[in-house]
Amino acid sequence: MAESAEGLGTIPEHERILQEIESTDTACVGPTLRSVYDDQPNAHKKFMEKLDACIRNHDKEIEKMCNFHHQGFVDAITELLKVRTDAEKLKVQVTDTNRRFQDAGKEVIVQTEDIIRCRIQQRNITTVVEKLQLCLPVLEMYSKLKEQMSAKRYYSALKTMEQLENVYFPRVSQYRFCQLMIENLPKLRENIKEISMSDLKDFLESIRKHSDKIGETAMKQAHQQKTFSVALQKQNNIKFGKNMRINNDRILEERNEIVLKHALEEEDENEEEVLTVQDLVDFSPVYRCLHIHSVLGSEETFENYYRKQRKKQARLVLQPQSNMHETVDGYRRYFTQIVGFFVVEDHILHVTQGLVTRAYTDELWNMALSKIIAVLRAHSSYCTDPDLVLELKNLIVIFADTLQGYGFPVNRLFDLLFEIRDQYNETLLKKWAGVFRDIFEEDNYSPIPVVSEEEYKIVISKFPFQDPDLEKSFPKKFPMSQSVPHIYIQVKEFIYASLKFSESLHRSSTEIDDMLRKSTNLLLTRTLNSCLLNLIRKPHIGLTELVQIIINTTHLEQACKYLEDFITNITNISQETVHTTRLYGLSTFKDARHAAEGEIYTKLNQKIDEFVQLADYDWTMSEPDGRASGYLMDLINFLRSIFQVFTHLPGKVAQTACMSACQHLSTSLMQMLLDSELKQISMGAVQQFNLDVIQCELFASSEPVPGFQGDTLQLAFIDLRQLLDLFMVWDWSTYLADYGQPASKYLRVNPNTALTLLEKVHRGMKDTSKKNNIFAQFRKNDRDKQKLIETVVKQLRSLVNGMSQHT
């Protein structure tokens, strides 16, 4: 039962498989048959049985179909057999007709073939013409390219290449010659690029060599323009009365007229032909190279190359020569090269788009400016000639004005000029120090004599001196010596020289006035004062010369107000202005006078010492000569003559010199008595010394210099007088009794001094006693006096010891 049930289940499955085999493509039968073998056992046998049954059914159906159509098939065969005969006849007729047609069409075929060949040729000719019409413009353009390359019109050649690539080559790209042309274009471009870069290098080398000529022309034009503008402005000021004349001094006005005339002459000479940078330099290589690289698409590369090369050239231009500071030509070459460099860059900036930019030129200028300032600061420090420094300043001003006209900031250069101005003033001060020294060396230190009014006017034209009494009669003498007007003139020349540097610095009149006054103050307080002090200290300058120097400084001090007026007339800045600097002439010449006065005192004392050194006392003499020593009388006569010269000095100076001389003489005489090498003094020598002191007192009482009150001058010898009186009257008891009392007669006698001199006199008396022991009547007196001296010596020693202990 189970097998029957199983068999019944497989029958529908076999029917399905058979339907799939009949209905599907034979390519898909394999999977269907495989499913038969994958089913249950014995399924294959059952399937084959089922397949046989299905085949038998189909055979039966085919047999039925054939039986149904057999009669029609027989009828069709019969009709075909009937048509066969007619078909053979028709075939014969067609063959015969074809043969006749073939024979008749042979000539037509020949003619037709000729026509076909002509048509093909005609079509080929038309095609060739059309292709040649496409190729001829390409060939013409390429020929044009070759001509442009030969003519070195590279920019046009590049444009022609663009047209060939964009317009013409696409039309004939299928031809081999076109491919050769296309392959050749990059080589041509590279060739053009190399040629243009070579031209650029030649251009860069050319402008490097000619930059100084370019800069020289630019600076010359800027200087001419500025000179003409300044001269024209001065002329307008003269017309409208805005200028002020300098009192009693037309030098500035004459200089202005000369400057104006010179400027107008230069303007007329250069009016006909004004060269520009384009006249001096051919910029076409730059334009061509820029256009070429623009077309080639390498504009940025070209810009970087150009800027890099120009920066290298800038560094070379900014590198100065080692000996540049020796001559102005060295500075001029340095400046003209720099100006030429930046004039070219400014031109490139304005005529090209993007090759250089304002930011690039500003960066390059700032770098160059720092280098220029460092170079000028270093090299100008070596300049010791003020004329060279002034020429350097003028070059810097023209250099700055030229580049400022091209839009470059130059404020730092004018700041540098203020540093150089200080150096210029230093060189001027050194130069004028030599001038002053020469004036002092050539001066005779005597009042200036004038024998006529003409000579008088010559002197006052040089120096502002006013003395109504001096104008009345001739001959006369000016109180100052010849150096005074010469120094006054040289101070004015110094002011002119200092003013030269202040010109064209774009500063106000107030600032110029301040600069002139400060530099003049330096001249007075440092240079002139130093020269005066050195002069005063020179060994060959005597007392007469020192007196004249004091008189000269007095008149120079009085002339300072005229120098202030002179500066005021130059700058038109009133002296009453709040910030106006005053000239320090008062302090300058006051210091010099004090130094001269001190030197007078010193030299006078030295002269006294020279006379004192001539003293030849016989310290053992028994009796005085009865008259003063010869050296002392010569000294007094010398002092009298000197003090007569002092009458031209201020009274206080003469009195101080006289008092100083008397005090120094008194001190020298006292030191002579107390000299440690002098061991003994006789009373005769003391009496002789007293005679000399009396002459000194008589000289002091004769009032050698007026102005002393009472016996003021005699007090210089009071110490000597009281000491000598003590020995002359031998009043030791009074001295010892009144010592320390305000009303003491010998108040100025120091115990130590008295002891020293007394011991020397004691030794002198002992020596005299030994020589005179043959006189018996003097023995007792001498012994008594020696005992008295010994007693006084002991008392003085105790007094001195008590003073030292108290101290």
Region 242-264: mean pLDDT is 44
634-666 burial code (b ≥16 CB/10 A, e <16): ebbebbeebbeebeebeeebbbbbbbbbbbbbb
Q: Which long-range contacts (CB under 8 A, 24 or more apart) does 170-173 make?
A: 171/134, 171/138, 172/131, 172/134, 172/135, 172/138
Write down the domain spans for the chain: 196-230+279-408, 426-446+481-598, 618-623+634-804
Q: H-helix or E-strand containing 491?
A: helix 483-502
What is 618-623+634-804's CATH number, 3.20.20.80, 1.20.58.670, 3.30.420.130, 3.30.565.10?
A: 1.20.58.670
Query: Residue 477: enclosing H or E segment and its boundaries?
Result: strand 476-477
User: What is d(CA 672, CA 676) in angstroms, rounded to the nearest whole number?
Assistant: 9
> What average pLDDT score do residues 280-297 get?
80
User: Regarding predicted confidence, which is higher, 356 or 226?
Assistant: 356
pLDDT of residue 351: 84
On the question of pLDDT at 439 being above 90, the answer is: yes
Confidence of residue 19 (pLDDT cuts 50, 70, 90): confident
The pLDDT of residue 770 is: 67
Q: What is the mean pLDDT of residues 680-689?
A: 91
Q: Is the pLDDT of residue 583 over 80?
A: no
pLDDT for 47 equals 78
pLDDT for the residue numbered 121: 93
Predicted confidence (pLDDT) at residue 304 exceeds the cutoff of 90 = no
pLDDT attached to residue 67: 83
Query: The domain 426-446+481-598: what is its CATH number?
Result: 1.10.357.30
Least confidently predicted of 198-212, 460-474, 592-606: 460-474
Give the lowest-confidence range in 50-59, 584-593, 657-666, 725-734.
584-593
Residue 791 has pLDDT above 60, yes or no: yes
Asked if pLDDT for residue 97 goes beyond 50, the answer is yes
Q: What is the pLDDT of residue 637?
A: 93
Residue 693: which pLDDT band, with cuts at 50, 70 and 90? very high
pLDDT band at 245 (very low <50, low <70, confident <90, very high): very low
Tens digits of per-residue pLDDT, 116-164? Answer: 999 999 999 998 898 888 888 888 988 998 898 888 888 888 888 888 8
The answer to whether residues 564 and 518 touch, using CB atoms and an 8 Å cutoff, is no
* pTM summary value: 0.67
Tell me the mean pLDDT in the region 29-38. Answer: 67
Where does the pLDDT of residue 464 fall: very low under 50, low under 70, confident under 90, or very high at 90 and above?
A: confident
Length of the chain: 807
> pLDDT tens digit string along 588-626?
788 888 888 888 888 899 999 999 999 989 898 888 888
Q: How far is CA 34 from CA 22, 37, 101, in A?
A: 16, 5, 66
**Would you place residue 672 in the very low, low, confident or very high pLDDT band (cuts 50, 70, 90)?**
very high
Kindly list the distances between the CA atom of residue 538 and the CA atoms of 542, 546, 556, 603, in Å, as whole numbers in the listed order: 9, 10, 21, 11
C-alpha 251/C-alpha 233 separation (Å) is: 19
The H or E element that residue 87 is part of is helix 43-150
Mutual angle of helices 560-571 and 585-613, in 10-degree steps: 150
Per-chain mean pLDDT for the chain: 82
Mean pLDDT of 228-253: 48
Cα gap 271→571, rounded to integer Å: 33
Residue 1 banded pLDDT, cuts 50, 70, 90: very low
Whether the Cβ atoms of residue 501 and residue 424 lie closer than 8 Å to each other: yes
pLDDT at 250 (0 to 100)? 42
Angle at 207 between CA 201 and CA 210, to 5 degrees: 140
Taking each helix axis from N to C end, the angle separating 411-442 and 509-522, rounded to the nearest 10 degrees, works out to 40
pLDDT-wise least confident of 239-243, 544-548, 658-662? 239-243
Query: What's the rounded Cα separation, in Å, for the pair 486 and 528?
Result: 13
Q: What is the DSSP letter of 750?
A: -
Q: 778 falls in which pLDDT band (50, 70, 90)?
A: very low
Q: Are 453 and 474 in contact (CB under 8 A)?
A: yes
> For the residues 52-77, what does the mean pLDDT come to?
85
Please say if the pLDDT value at position 270 is more than 50: no
What's the N-to-C CA distance of the chain in angstroms?
A: 170
pLDDT above 70: residue 59: yes
In the predicted model, is pLDDT for residue 201 greater than 90?
A: no
